[in-house]
Amino acid sequence: MKAIIAATILGVIMMFSSILMKDKKAIITIAALLLAVLLGVNIWDVMATKKGSNFTFLFNNMILISREGLWFNMLMTGCTFLYVLLSGKDIARVGTHTAEYFALIFFILTGVYLLSSYNNLLILFIGIEILSIPQYILAGSDKKNLKSSEAALKYFLMGAFTTGILMMGVTLLYGSTGTFELTRMDFIHQSSVNGMSLAGIIFLIIAFGFKVSAAPMHTWTPDVYDGAPTPFTAFMATIVKSAAFYAFIRLFQNTFGGISNHWTIVLSIITALTLFIGNLTAVFQQSVKRMLAYSSIAQAGFMLFAILSNNAVASQGIIIYAVAYSVATIGMFAVLMKLKDYTYDGFNGLAKKEPVLAFVTTIFLLSLAGIPLTGGFMAKYFVLQAAIMQGQLFWLVIFALLMAAISAYYYFRVIIAMYFKQGNPELHEPLSSGDKFMLALTCVLVVLIGIAPQLFLASI
């Protein structure tokens, strides 16, 4: 709860900082400082709850504070901090309203905290809206670029439509159970498991599927991720998506977990489709940015396993996956922002010109592909282990492994371009030693998640 209040207040401070300061560098510094404060508040929140303690309910059971949720908040704030340190300069380059962009990022974090602690469908709804509306703005922030405006409009229209579907699902669930409160919704009685509540659950699956870009609700993703300014794509594809997933798993594991036989089949078809479409389409992309958009769809397919498997390993898996995927993707996008040309050819010969940049890119890509010793491997290991423990998803696990093999192709294409092809890649500016340090740190984090994933689950 402290974090929710802190994020809002710090967001407002961030917003007003543009009145006092015109210098963009100062604004970036303030944003990083405020994020450090927010991270501190999050750590304080985690410390204040004892390990293995019970849930705390606040505000008429609107909010359920659990240690796991607070831990997730802390990790996501940490990722945001890393993201601002890595690409703060690129955020400032997007447009003139730098302070406002950072303020919106703080408000998105408020949404993230709400989504990790909601116990009421109304809070879920508001949380998802707080998560989405700043994103529409960030997607359209590069006003001189027509593609950015197109992305914002497309995202807004599709998002508004999905909000309607989400609201419809909430209404149907309210109609059949008579409450918005998740801990009071029991599906043990046959009377509340009827067509109405099941239709509501399907509507919620569709709405969440849109937010996490699961096929066939993924159609907005490539255009929006491609059109939006690259720094904001990095944020949308990582922290926001992870938060949506965390909200997804909390609802479906805790509340609808008891009647999983009713929705597992729908979700497993969605998972298979997401893996298939994401991976196969990524193969044919020519632009690395667009490839990363499709890869984020493919990674969402793996994260859906955690929701499908519906057990304790799954909830650990989603946290590890969220962190491993976020850190690697943030790093990958940070590299992409340094380059002028986003196509595969733009990476040709990068290893000769910037060996450090090429090396860290390789580590990030290996992690995304799920090669052992990187975070991506451990993440995939956790979610697939959870799926096997569930018992009935063996066919889907094998399918996922096949798709992971396909994904290696398009990730390795970048590595091949960097190391084995000749070319002269152009950078926006030469790498500073600060950039190098931050990229190396991200790289170390990726490897650390791969070697010692328990560190990132230690406190749950």
Partner 1 sequence: MDIQQILFIVLSAIAIGCALGVVFSRNPINSVLFLILTFFAISGHYILLNAQFLAVVNIIVYAGAIMVLFLFVIMLMNLNSDTEPQKNWLVQLAGAISGGILFLVLLSALVSATKTLPVMEQGSNDLGLIKNLGKTLFRDYVLPFEISSVLFLSAMIGAIVIGKKEDKFEDVH
Q: Is 153 in the site for partner 1 (CB under 8 A)?
A: no
Compute the least distance from the CB of residue 301 to partner 1, in Å: 23
Q: Is 195 in the site for partner 1 (CB under 8 A)?
A: yes
Q: Is 85 in the site for partner 1 (CB under 8 A)?
A: no
Q: Is 110 in the site for partner 1 (CB under 8 A)?
A: yes
Among 53, 96, 286, 454, binds partner 1 (CB under 8 A): 96
Q: Is 262 in the site for partner 1 (CB under 8 A)?
A: no
Q: Is 194 in the site for partner 1 (CB under 8 A)?
A: yes
Tokens of 132: 């989405």
Compute the least distance from the CB of residue 194 to partner 1, in Å: 5
Q: What is the 3-class SS of the chain, one letter each residue?
A: CHHHHHHHHHHHHHHHHHHHCCCHHHHHHHHHHHHHHHHHHHHHHHHHCCCCCCCEEECCCCEEECHHHHHHHHHHHHHHHHHHHHHHHHHHHHCCCHHHHHHHHHHHHHHHHHHCCECEHHHHHHHHHHHHHHHHHHHCCCCCCHHHHHHHHHHHHHHHHHHHHHHHHHHHHHHHHCCCEHHHCCCCCHHHCCHHHHHHHHHHHHHHHHHCCCCCCCCHHHHHHHHCCHHHHHHHHHHHHHHHHHHHHHHHHHHCHHHHHHHHHHHHHHHHHHHHHHHHHHHCCCEHHHHHHHHHHHHHHHHHHHHHHCCHHHHHHHHHHHHHHHHHHHHHHHHHHHECCCEHHHHCCHHHHCHHHHHHHHHHHHHHHCCCCCHHHHHHHHHHHHHHHHCCCHHHHHHHHHHHHHHHHHHHHHHHHHHHCCCCCCECCCCCHHHHHHHHHHHHHHHHHHHCHHHHCCCC
What's the rounded Cα separation, in Å, for the pair 258 and 251? 11
Subset of residues 8 to 27 that bind partner 1, contact rule: CB under 8 A: 8, 11-12, 15, 24-25
Q: Is 196 in the site for partner 1 (CB under 8 A)?
A: yes
Q: Report residue 97 CA to chain centroid gap.
A: 24
Q: Is 170 in the site for partner 1 (CB under 8 A)?
A: no
Tokens of 96: 């003139």
Among 84, 112, 130, 363, binds partner 1 (CB under 8 A): 130
Among 92, 185, 243, 339, binds partner 1 (CB under 8 A): 92
Which residue stretch of 42-50, 71-79, 134-142, 207-215 sits at the interface with partner 1 (rule: CB under 8 A)? 134-142
- Nearer Cβ to partner 1 (131/414): 131
Task: Give the position of tokens 């001189």.
Answer: 144
- Integer CA distances (angstroms), 101 to 23, 106, 161, in order: 15, 9, 25
Compute the least distance from the CB of residue 229 to partner 1, in Å: 12
- Nearer Cβ to partner 1 (107/342): 107
Which residue stretch of 193-201, 214-222, 225-233, 438-446 sits at the interface with partner 1 (rule: CB under 8 A)? 193-201
Subset of residues 29 to 68 that bind partner 1, contact rule: CB under 8 A: 58-60, 62-63
* 67, 46 contact by CB (below 8 A): yes
Compute the least distance from the CB of residue 442 to partner 1, in Å: 21
Among 19, 52, 188, 429, binds partner 1 (CB under 8 A): 429
Among 93, 147, 352, 436, binds partner 1 (CB under 8 A): 93
The contact pattern for partner 1, residues 202-221, with x = CB under 8 A and - = no contact, is x-------------------
- Nearer Cβ to partner 1 (136/382): 136
- Nearer Cβ to partner 1 (58/401): 58
Q: Is 144 in the site for partner 1 (CB under 8 A)?
A: yes
- Nearer Cβ to partner 1 (97/413): 97
Report the Cα–Cα distance between both ends of the chain, in Å, rounded: 18
Q: Is 243 in the site for partner 1 (CB under 8 A)?
A: no
Tokens of 362: 């390789």
- Nearer Cβ to partner 1 (178/372): 178
What's the rounded Cα separation, in Å, for the pair 211 and 221? 10
What's the rounded Cα separation, in Å, for the pair 305 and 212? 13
Which residue stretch of 194-202, 281-289, 375-383, 442-450 sits at the interface with partner 1 (rule: CB under 8 A)? 194-202
Compute the least distance from the CB of residue 401 to partner 1, in Å: 33
- Nearer Cβ to partner 1 (37/388): 37
Compute the least distance from the CB of residue 133 to partner 1, in Å: 5
- Nearer Cβ to partner 1 (51/429): 429
* Contact footprint for partner 1 (CB under 8 A): 4, 8, 11-12, 15, 24-25, 58-60, 62-63, 89, 92-93, 95-97, 100-101, 103-104, 107, 110-111, 114, 120, 122-123, 126, 129-130, 133-134, 136-137, 140-141, 143-144, 152, 172, 175-176, 178, 191, 194-196, 198-200, 202, 429
